[in-house]
Chains A and B, each alone.
Chain A
Amino acid sequence: MERKTKVNAEEGKQDLWITREFDLPLDLLFKAYAEPELLAQWMGTNVLKFEAKKHGCYQFETKDANGNVVFRGNGAIHEFSPNKKISRTFEMENAPFGVQLEVCEFEKLTDDTSRLTIHSIYESGALRDANLKMPFAYGINMAHNRLQEIVNNLK
Chain B
Amino acid sequence: MNLRRDVFQAIADPTRRAILLLVASQAMAAGAIAANFDTARPTVSKHLQILTECELLQQEQNGREIYYHINAKKMKEVADFIEPFRIMWDDRFNALEAIMKNYKTK
Contact = CB atoms under 8 A, between A and B. Distances in A.
Interface residues of B, number: 26
B91 A38 contact: no
User: Residue among A5, A43, A44 with the most chain B CB within 10 A?
Assistant: A5
Contacts of B94: 4, 147
Interface string A100-135: 000000000000000010000000001001001100
B88 A136 contact: yes
B89 interface: yes
A126 B98 CA distance: 35
A5 B86 contact: yes
B98 A151 contact: yes
A9 B95 contact: no
B96 A42 contact: yes
4 tightest A-B CB contacts, nearest first: A143-B91, A5-B90, A42-B96, A136-B84
A143 B92 contact: yes
Given A7-B82, A7-B86, A129-B12, A147 B91 contact: yes
Interface string B1-45: 000000010001000010000000000000000000000000000
A22 to B, nearest CB: 6
Contacts of A147: 91, 94-95, 98
Contacts of A23: 97, 101
Interface string B48-88: 00000000000000000000000000000000011011111
